[in-house]
Amino acid sequence: MGNNTIKRISDLPGVGPAAEEKLIQAGFTTIESIAVASPSDLVTVAGLGEGTAIKAINAARDSLEMGFEAADKVMDKRKEIGRITTSSKELDTLLGGGVETQSITEVYGRFGSGKTQWCFQLCVTCQQPLDKGGLGGKVIYIDSENSFRPERVIAISEHMGLDPKKILKNIFVARAYNADHQMLLVDKAKDILDKENIKLVIVDSLTSHFRAEFTGRGQLADRQQKLNRHLYTLMKLAETKNLAVLVTNQVMDRPDILFGDSTAPIGGNIVGHASKTRLYLRKAKGDMRVAKLVDSPYLPDGEATYKVTGTGISD
């Protein structure tokens, strides 16, 4: 059993208030984040000696249930997974029933491929009852590109015969002004999760601030480390609170690819490993779009064609 005397970071051996403050500023805000850190991380950011860092990490691990569990228990947890409909049967089939809880779903594509439309759509469908393909819960929307438009949500709600005022009241929007602010907002989200029955957390877009602030190869390691911590926090929320996390991502052109599609999502392997379900969106003719399932732990690769109009996503 875990050691229940450790409730906060300063309860760890060798970690005083000053070191705790430094760790929190560097993004190590929970006992879990210390437990999965490497000693060198703590030495660098909090100035701890290596021996002290190892003791602190071991104490954090002992205080948590970080051992093995039987696969049938894992299966029981999987049975609790909920799914949010996209309002397109084609897309829902591709996704095995919709956007699922307990993990991160990433949609990426070029400008105009309809990434933010997914966010607006799920803001509405998430609030519907279970028998209508929703989770009967509210939404947190972290907006890093100033792209949230209540008008779009209203149009989708009205099209679905729902009260737009009610729908808007249940979406908590925060504008993220830089990468640190974005990370802080996810930490702050924990305060309202239970109180407000949040079932979906949206980050649109995940990487734009990180991309703008960390330029050049020299800053790549710092950027990836921060992005990793950010995604870890999102992943913990999804798993421990049984909610869905949807992130949008931008793409870059890869000059080393000569044939086929040369676009790749920003963030490299760190985003790739954290996002359990990855979809590449692209424009087709008129208001048609194509979603390609690029990665999923258990679903086969495939494509779905769907429509994006002023009233939302449909077949």
39: CATH: 1.10.150.20
Residues 78 and 50 in one domain: no
Q: Which domain holds residue 249?
A: 73-314
Cut 0.85: pTM above it: no
Among 1-10, 65-74, 166-175, the least confident range: 1-10
| Domain end among 29, 45, 63 | 63
28 and 98 part of one domain: no
Q: Is there a single domain that holds both residue 149 and residue 235?
A: yes
Give the tens place of pLDDT for each residue, 200-242.
999 998 988 888 887 767 777 777 788 888 888 899 899 889 9
Task: Please indicate, yes or no, whether residues 220 and 99 belong to a single structural domain of this protein.
Answer: yes
> Band of the pLDDT at 1, cuts 50, 70, 90?
very low
Mean pLDDT of 250-271: 63
Residues 170 and 271 in one domain: yes
> Does some domain include residue 2?
no
Measure the CA–CA gap between 135 and 198, rounded to whole angstroms.
Answer: 9
In a domain, 68, yes or no: no
Asked if the structure places residue 286 within a domain, the reply is: yes
Domain count of the chain?
2
Collect all residues with Cβ–Cβ distance below 8 Å to 139 and sequence separation of at least 6.
Answer: 122, 123, 126, 127, 170, 171, 172, 198, 199, 200, 201, 202
Q: Are 290 and 267 in contact (CB under 8 A)?
A: no
> Residue 315 in 3-state DSSP?
coil
User: Are 37 and 84 within one domain?
Assistant: no
What is the average pLDDT value for the chain, to the nearest integer? 88
